[in-house]
Amino acid sequence: MSTAFDDRYFSQPELLAMNFRALGRQVQISRMARLYSPEYMSIGDFSIVDDFCILSGNVEIGRNVHLAHGCRVIAGREGVKMDDFSGLAFGVTVFAQSDDYGGEALTNPTIPMAYRKIRRARVEMGRHVIVGAGSVVFPGVVMGEGSSVGACSMVTKSTEPWFVYLGAPAKKLKSRKRDMLALEVAYLAEYPSQTQPGNDAVEI
């Protein structure tokens, strides 16, 4: 892994000054990303957050996780967890909270909460989960280890481990190969975890 400084990303001292809940080594976060309340966030070793991403709330990111350009992770207090080796392709949106669209309440943040109805539910993505470009993941979804979602899909229900999903709403398409698991073992032997303490020294 390269340790050369790249000024497109925040330096390690700058990241430490943000008081993350936990921060891994060689984390790269673009200066053009926006992180709201980083004190509630954990980010593991070698993870990358690209340009124009927005992260807010209780976000837990494992090691070797990639958020491509323009992703939005709106975690709220319930939280979004992305386990090791998972990733979001360009322009993916993940919600752990959403207004009611059925007409039972007023919507949008200009309205006091007494007049709104918001669904809040934790989202979890297992190891090796990958979500294709332009997809949307809804509150309460749990994506099983190794499941993958094709581009422009709408994930409204939880996914089973090691299957490929596609569509709006996303439906199971076929099984996914597991060849990557052998490569993971070799990679981890060369690059073992070593998360550094952040604000609360919470391990990922």
Q: Per residue in 1-59, pLDDT tens?
A: 545 568 999 999 999 999 999 999 999 999 999 999 999 999 999 999 999 999 999 99
> Residue 192 pLDDT > 90, yes or no?
no
Question: For residue 193, is pLDDT > 90?
Answer: no
> Contact 121/96 with Cβ under 8 angstroms?
yes
Residues 179 and 133: their CA atoms lie apart, in Å, by 23
Long-range contacts of 67-73 (CB under 8 A, 24+ apart): 67/92, 68/92, 68/133
Q: Is the pLDDT of residue 197 over 70?
A: no
Answer whether residue 144 shows pLDDT above 60. yes
Residue that wins the pLDDT comparison between 176 and 100: 176
Which of 190, 127, 136 lies closest to 161 in space, CA to CA? 127
For the chain, how big is the Rg over CA atoms in Å?
Answer: 17
Interstrand relation of 54-56 and 72-74 (parallel, antiparallel or unpaired): parallel
187: three-class secondary structure by DSSP: helix
All structural domains of the chain, each given as residue ranges with its CATH number in brackets, are: 16-197 (2.160.10.10)
- Sorted by sequence, the CB contacts under 8 Å of residue 79 that are 6+ apart come out as 57, 58, 59, 60, 96, 122, 123
Average pLDDT, the chain: 93
Check residue 76 and give its pLDDT: 95
